[in-house]
Amino acid sequence: MAASEASPGLGRLGAAAALVLFIAAALTPFAELKLNRIVRGEPVGAWDSPAALTGLALAAAAVGLSRATSRRETGGLAPLVPRLLVRAAALLLLAAPALMAGAHGLGRASPGPGFWLAAAGLAAAWRSGRARPDPASPPKARRALAAALDLAALTALVILALGGAFDRFSPYAEFAAQGPRFWDELARHLALSLGAFFAAAALALPTAALAARGGPLGSGLTALAGAAQNVPSLALFGLLLPALAALADALPGLRVLGVSGIGPAPALVALTLYALLPMVLAGAAGLRMVDPGARDAAKGLGYSQRQAFGRVELPLALPSFLSGARTALVQTIGTATVAALVGAGGMGYFVFQGLGQAAMDMVIVGVVPVVALSALADRLMGALQARAERYVR
Amino acid sequence: MEILRYEGAGKRYGAAWALRDFTLGIEEGTITALIGPSGSGKTTALRMANRMAEPDEGGLRYEGRELRSYRPEALRRRMGYVIQSVGLFPHWTVLQNVCAVPRLLGRRRREAEARADELLALVGLDPARYRGRRPSELSGGEAQRVGVARALAADPPLLLMDEPFGAVDPLQRAKLQASFLEIQKRLRKTVLLVTHDLDEAVRLADRVVLMRAGLVVQADTPARLLAEPAGEFARDFVGEERSLKRLARVAAASCARPPATVPLGADAPAADGSCDGPAVYWAVDGRGRPAGFVRPGARAKPGAEAPSVLPLGATLKEALALMLEDGPELVGLVDEEGVLRAELGLADIARASSQAVVTDGPR
């Protein structure tokens, strides 16, 4: 958190990009209103919707305010105002398509290009309200208020959703129609990605240690991980199908454990192989960068090889390893979408179902959580990495 | 008693011998310096002592036992190890670094930390100020002091030092050497030291082993190495100004005289015409600290510049260097409170170097 507190809220470039996106959003069709989930809809612009126009205006105001406050130190809660505006704008823009459908007396509204442009602008402006630290208001108090603000916005979102405000918003309708299935697949997606990530991390550490030592075994394993990375994901799943099926046939005991040609087993194996390379390369690079003096001292003071690795070399290589782990985790969460093709489930289930039924709104139900999870994973791993870097300096 | 003995030890890298037929006994409580140009085998010899390098021929004995019979890790934990690059662990505090070996040996944390505080104080670092610092927050000299404290933490009888003061500037190096001698006076460790700096070897060591291309050229006391270098290589290595180097062995205090002082505000005695009286007096303040010079018969006033002084433990070489740089007729020796204790001039140094004052006696 300290790192983000120190970074300026919204750069000049970010602000300009956000404003351009908001203007474009106002000029392009914001929603498609239609009778049911399959038929083509009728495009309607933001100019037809007070909610969408207000939302865009608030968002633009937030960007302007954020730039103004980031230039000088502002006392008290002023830096929180743009933050509040951005969250309010997000709620309004999210509710706008459903309101438009209601106003036209039509069943559903799908997001149009204007909606996505506005969403991109909001993503750019999301950091506004994080102005430079102000000595008058301690960052701790302001951070607590900012968190309270986000919590309030989230509560408002849930209340609106439960109150039916989004019922005519087509992606939300698809989500609601899935019922508990959505949460099951989300849990499966998380289990797949995290399982593969941790398995890969456990394999990557010893491989990185071997690779850093420069032996033939280490470079061979690195080459193998590199080769796996180069096989297209769909092809790797395909290659694993007969391999694991044959394995399960040969060893029936494995079948009891859930190993078969389709399902989570090939998906886990493939995702683990994919996640391996970034962590092996970054870990080996980190180990090679350990100060030779520290290494020699550890040996000379009487550390055994294992003690020197665990207590000196590994901690010093940790920031580098974590940068690889960050890449690996973000990549794994995204790639796990493809796992639905081999029957492993996950958010890919909605993506491929939606594609099959030509129901784009169902595709959105699968894609949006993946994007959100990736962004969250990136932030968390980034914070962890920054912490590790402070620890070894 | 000999604590460590090399018996015809040799080490080969490929076809080339890094060290050949190396035989040397190291007496308990002494400082032995291995010196020579790069590639002379001195570091290889040092690293054999804690089994960081294994001999290809011959062997070593430690405390009378075959070195090979010790487990390397156990052996290393009983020998202090200081290297030029210091090699402090950057992710640990100074305190954790100093506690490294005691913790390896399974000592209790509280015990190890109390000992670490003592050692930090011993190497001249205030424990309260330094124990929580990170290595990145230390200067080169401070880091090297922590390195020495870490090596001493488990109270090893033998200390191995590979160019320990090589990475710091000359001023820092002189300070580190002085405080190392202070520490050694108290702890009486056996020290095996590798250096390429003859001044350092002469100043610190009881015995200097000059090496070249893996062979011992001469193993002698510093004074004898300087006075009677054996052969052309030794003569070249010792160099032309070896009488100057010998001065580094002599404490300035040993040939200094009691100072002639006059309190500030008083008049210095007038010259009586004979040549016996001092040509110049020290003007000293109420606590005996030098403030300037005063000619015979004149009134003592603070001088425009602070007079040139050295600590009591300075060597003759340092005194001479100060005279040549600053040009004072007299150099004062002051104690820790800055009180003037002795004075010496160029003539005193000339007398000392011409007489047989240069010995290997206790410094």
CA nearest neighbour of A211 among A321, A116, A105, A319: A321
Higher pLDDT, B150 or A78: B150
Provide the 10 A C-beta neighbour count for residue A358: 10
CB A266 within 8 A of CB A342: yes
Q: Is A387 on the interface with B (CB under 8 A)?
A: no
Q: How far is B136 from chain A (nearest CA, A)?
A: 7
* pLDDT value of position B145: 92
Contact A316 B91 (CB under 8 A): yes
For the domain made up of B252-269+276-354, the CATH class stated in words is: alpha beta
Contact A291 B52 (CB under 8 A): no
Res. A254: pLDDT tops 50: yes
Q: Is B134 on the interface with A (CB under 8 A)?
A: yes
* pLDDT value of position A107: 83
The residue-averaged pLDDT of B15-26 equals 92
Q: Could you tell me the residue ranges of all domains in chain A?
A: 6-170, 180-392
The residue-averaged pLDDT of A8-34 equals 85
* pLDDT value of position A6: 37
Q: What is the dihedral of CA A73, A78, A83, A88, to 10 degrees?
A: -160
Give the C-alpha separation, A301 to A306, whole Å: 14
Beta strand extents in chain A (DSSP E only) = 29-34, 42-45, 108-111
Q: Which residues of A touch B87 (CB under 8 A)?
A: 291, 293-298
Q: Which long-range contacts (CB under 8 A, 24 or more apart) does B270-275 make?
A: B270/B296, B270/B297, B271/B296, B271/B297
Give the C-alpha separation, B265 to A159, whole Å: 91
Residue type, A238: G
Residue type, B197: D
Higher pLDDT, A251 or A40: A40
pLDDT class for B203, splitting at 50, 70, 90?
confident
Contact B73 A304 (CB under 8 A): yes
Kindly report, residue by residue over A130-155, the tens digit of the pLDDT.
545 555 556 677 778 888 888 999 99
Question: CA-CA distances (angstroms) from residue B246 to B191, B297, B311, B349?
Answer: 21, 39, 19, 12
Kindly report, residue by residue over A264-287, the tens digit of the pLDDT.
888 888 899 889 889 999 999 999
Mean pLDDT over each residue of chain A, to the nearest integer = 84
Sign of CA dihedral B350, B351, B355, B357: negative
pLDDT class for B192, splitting at 50, 70, 90?
very high
Kindly report, residue by residue over B282-313, the tens digit of the pLDDT.
888 888 888 888 888 888 888 777 788 888 88
Q: Is B52 on the interface with A (CB under 8 A)?
A: yes
Res. A359: pLDDT tops 80: yes
Contact B90 A316 (CB under 8 A): yes
Lowest mean pLDDT among A329-343, A373-387, B306-320: B306-320
Tokens of residue A337, six digits: 């979408």
Q: Is A306 on the interface with B (CB under 8 A)?
A: no
Tokens of residue A144, six digits: 């607590």
Q: CATH fold of A180-392, please?
A: MetI-like fold (1.10.3720)
Q: CATH fold of B2-241, please?
A: Rossmann fold (3.40.50)
* pLDDT value of position B86: 87
pLDDT class for B237, splitting at 50, 70, 90?
confident
Higher pLDDT, A82 or A10: A82
Contact A300 B136 (CB under 8 A): no
Lowest mean pLDDT among A54-63, A378-387, B289-298: B289-298
DSSP symbols for B11-42: EEETTEEEEEEEEEEEETT-EEEEE-STTSSH
Res. B88: pLDDT tops 50: yes
Q: Which residue of A has its CA nearest to B73?
A: A302
Res. A218: pLDDT tops 80: no
pTM of the full predicted structure?
Answer: 0.74
Mean pLDDT over each residue of chain B, to the nearest integer = 86
pLDDT above 90 covers a percentage of chain A that reads 42
Contact A392 B100 (CB under 8 A): no
